[in-house]
A and B are shown apart, each in its own frame.
Chain A
Amino acid sequence: MAAKTLIINGKHVSAEENATILEAATEAGISIPTLCHLDGVYDAGACRLCLVEVAGISKLLPACTTKVAEGMDVSTDTERLRKYRRMTLELLFAERNHVCAVCVSNNHCELQTLAYSQGMEHVRFEYRFPKWEVDNTHALFGMDHNRCILCTRCVRVCWHIEGAGTKNESGRGAKERIITDLNQPWGASDTCTNCGKCVMACPTGALFYKGSTVSEMERDRSKLEFIVTAREKKQWIASE
């Protein structure tokens, strides 16, 4: 396989022939912000945060889906790109309900981390505050549509890694949402294999494990008593 040499932010970088700009940059230790990209799953090119400038091309190109070319001169961190990234993140924050302090993913959220790293201090757009439902019908997992950013990672892992095809998109524009099967409650799904890959893939608090988060968390105190009692009565020693 032939290698390609390109320039990223003024630095000469070599990359494998079929690599994307994102892969080449990551390998060279240059970080490009991403949100819908997930290693191991095919890319959608949807979030537009990884847009980069390529010399000689007037359009901005998504680093996750654009293949490297010989002599390509890529800039990943210009003033213009930083401005666009910050605005895009603000649009996301204003779109649904992203209040970190009360979120199950607080401090473990890619959206939050990105906002910090891109210097997003506040949101200049008016919050839309839509009222979306929370689907808590599944025995193990929950989905809060208010925190969904429609990156479709869950849909892609469900179809292409698990192969179950449970998660889908429905509606369009601001009314788009992630659905289960043909818009059934998650708990009623016949196709869901309870694998949890969608929860692993979710960048925000939209998909979560039940019972482990904030107010839901239940502590099993009876277990302590059970252990002490069992020890005292020597219940674990096999009788002769």
Chain B
Amino acid sequence: MVIDDLIAIAEQERAARKKYVIRCCLAAGCMSSNSKGVKEALDVAVKEAGLENDVEVRGVGCMKLCCQGPLVQIDGDGQGATVRIEGNPQGPLYQRVTPEDAASLVATLKGGKTNVQRGDPAQPFFTNQVSIVLANSGIVDPERIESYIAADGYQALHDVLREMTPKDVVEAMIKSGLRGRGGAGYPTGLKWATVAKTPGNQKYVICNADEGDPGAFMDRSVLESDPHSVLEGMAIGAYAVGANQGFIYVRAEYPLAISRLQNAIKQAKQKELLGSGVFESPFNFNIDVRIGAGAFVCGEETALMSSVEGKRGSPRPRPPFPAERGLWSSPTLINNVETFANVPPIFRKGPEWFAGIGTEKSKGTKVFALAGRITNTGLLEVPMGTTLREIVEKMGGGAPDGRKIKAVQTGGPSGGCIPAEALDTPVDYDSLVKLGSIMGSGGMIVMDDTSRMVDVARFFMEFCMDESCGKCIPCRAGTVQMYHLLNKILEGKATPRDLEQLESLCDLVKNTSLCGLGQTAPNPVLSTLRFFRKEYTDLLKEDVYAGPKTDDPGQTNGGPKPEALLPVT
């Protein structure tokens, strides 16, 4: 494979484009409402109408407005594969399509009419999006590498391998200002530089696709919709740090993402875009898929590496960080799916272009999975610094049934609840931390005034308790006690002292746990206590042993001290 071959494939693919492209969403969300049946019915309808030469029915990745699926969109001339549609889908959009609708949809191409529900591509949900990571999502066919190549795919890899030194690549990453999209927001360029500078004959690149936060489906959508962008990003990273082997760690609950990845890797190998001597350079790189076995903690990088090595997925203390001692004790670059998917566009359009989007300290865009009590459930990508209000009220359409939004939960079990009063906060790494939450990987769960915040805290605590690996005591035993106390509060059996004990447990688990799971497990409790304390105190009953308070919170649980039993005067 040389650049001319790549260009030839792209041109051939563009030339083969038919007059109409009917794009049918084949990502997991729409698939669950039978979009596969819709696609098959469309294929049949096109054949029956005798339009095979004019119409291509293309299975594509996520078309973003998941709640209205299955989604189908029809592009006319000059659109689709050859033209990048920047967050502004063109052509009529149809929603909640059934296989029975296929014939009438195809008939519209011949001037016919259809009763299928029309979606509005001009609504803010679509028009306010800025697509970098999702640029190809819903446009290219994720099962065909040619479709990705026609959208300028693998050109960035070529340019990097043939025109840049690894040092240049790292510098460009630093200049872009990209920060890790897995949640913590560590500067990606700095991480790449550390791995590149660590000596070692064998280095690895790992893509963390163990997305486990409840309500989050960004990484799944990227893998299902545009797997090649992740592969290309990993290859560029591998070149920058000097690695020759990559692993993608995907959770087993994402069978479609796994099969599309495996298919994409196979195609990239066939086209010699992975393997030995990529683009006839000395660069060798292979990628293997590793499938998780259902443990949330394996999203933590040290536990993930332990799992890739075939061991029990439990975390170990850092330092040493993976950049220094990672997989099989070799220097390892580990980034999230979305981080890698950002890499090819950065090299295609330049780090300056990327650094021009977003806020001063958070560059680029962020993909969010909007879920919960919200009108428009789905996937959206917005520039960093967009306010929460714009995301949930304008783009998300607010809470359904005319209810009021009460809080937005970001960051999954590691994050916190942001109250409606703070909706004007710009979404960037630092502002969310100030509110006691985190950016997280991008799950955004909206709650309306029917949600009870203590219930929300208990839900996440139960999740952390079940998912604690059991290695360190504070997380293993502390989450059990916290869950128990939250239950006690919800049952109306708790006293103010139980609440004090809950708070001191939060402090302990946050500060003494071994890994990120435990260190952030108290966040949902802490943030709901911060903004909705009254909901907790309203559930408390009076302390029957109103004896002398000790300095030590929660001292009474071992039984009241004798003097406390005396009647209060």
CA distance A48 to B316 in the complex (A): 12
A125 and B465 contact, CB distance less than 8 A: no
B558 and A173 contact, CB distance less than 8 A: no
B474 at the A interface (CB under 8 A):
yes
9-residue interface stretch from A86-94, A191-199, A206-214: A86-94
Looking at the complex, which one of A48, A122, A128 makes contact with B474 (CB distance below 8 Å)?
A48
9-residue interface stretch from B179-187, B208-216, B381-389, B511-519: B511-519
Chain A interface, DSSP helix/strand/loop, else mixed: loop
Q: Total A-B pairs in contact (CB under 8 Å)?
A: 101
CB-based nearest A residue for B469? A172
CA distance A51 to B476 in the complex (A): 17
Interface size on B, residues (CB 8 A): 39
A124 and B554 contact, CB distance less than 8 A: yes
A126 and B484 contact, CB distance less than 8 A: yes
Q: What does the 1/0 interface line of A170-193 toward B look like (CB < 8 Å)?
A: 011111100000000000000000
Given A92-B477, A169-B312, A174-B465, is A48 in contact with B472 using a C-beta cutoff of 8 Å? Answer: yes
Given A87-B504, A126-B557, is A45 in contact with B467 using a C-beta cutoff of 8 Å? Answer: no
In chain A, residues 18-47, which have Cβ atoms closer than 8 Å to a Cβ of chain B? 44-47
How far does the Cβ of B461 sit from chain A's closest Cβ, in whole Å? 12
Chain A residues with CB under 8 A of B469? 172-173, 176
B481 at the A interface (CB under 8 A):
yes
B40 at the A interface (CB under 8 A):
no
B471 and A44 contact, CB distance less than 8 A: yes
How far does the Cβ of A8 sit from chain B's closest Cβ, in whole Å? 19
CA distance A60 to B518 in the complex (A): 14
Looking at the complex, which one of A44, A66, A84, A175 makes contact with B508 (CB distance below 8 Å)?
A84
CA distance A150 to B477 in the complex (A): 11
Q: What does the 1/0 interface line of B2-45 toward A look like (CB < 8 Å)?
A: 00000000000000000000000000000000000000000000
How far does the Cβ of B271 sit from chain A's closest Cβ, in whole Å? 41
Chain A residues with CB under 8 A of B504? 87
B188 at the A interface (CB under 8 A):
no
Q: What does the 1/0 interface line of B464-490 toward A look like (CB < 8 Å)?
A: 011111111110111111001000000
B465 and A60 contact, CB distance less than 8 A: no
B501 at the A interface (CB under 8 A):
yes
A95 at the B interface (CB under 8 A):
yes
How far does the Cβ of B556 sit from chain A's closest Cβ, in whole Å? 8
Given A87-B504, A173-B469, is A48 in contact with B513 using a C-beta cutoff of 8 Å? Answer: yes
A5 at the B interface (CB under 8 A):
no
How far does the Cβ of A122 sit from chain B's closest Cβ, in whole Å? 4
B248 at the A interface (CB under 8 A):
no
A14 at the B interface (CB under 8 A):
no
B295 at the A interface (CB under 8 A):
yes
CA distance A136 to B70 in the complex (A): 58
CA distance A159 to B149 in the complex (A): 50
Given A47-B473, A176-B476, is A124 in contact with B557 using a C-beta cutoff of 8 Å? Answer: yes
Q: What does the 1/0 interface line of B187-207 toward A look like (CB < 8 Å)?
A: 000000000000000000000
Besides A174-B465, A174-B470, 18 other A-B contacts (C-beta < 8 A): A45-B472, A46-B471, A46-B514, A47-B473, A65-B317, A94-B481, A95-B480, A122-B558, A123-B558, A124-B555, A124-B558, A172-B295, A172-B467, A172-B468, A173-B465, A173-B469, A173-B470, A173-B480
Q: List 22 A-B contacts (CB under 8 A).
A: A45-B316, A45-B317, A46-B472, A48-B472, A51-B512, A87-B505, A91-B474, A91-B481, A95-B477, A124-B554, A124-B556, A125-B481, A152-B471, A168-B312, A169-B314, A171-B470, A172-B469, A172-B470, A173-B468, A173-B480, A174-B477, A174-B480
**Nearest 6 pairs of A and B residues by beta carbon:** A176-B470, A122-B558, A91-B477, A45-B317, A173-B468, A124-B557
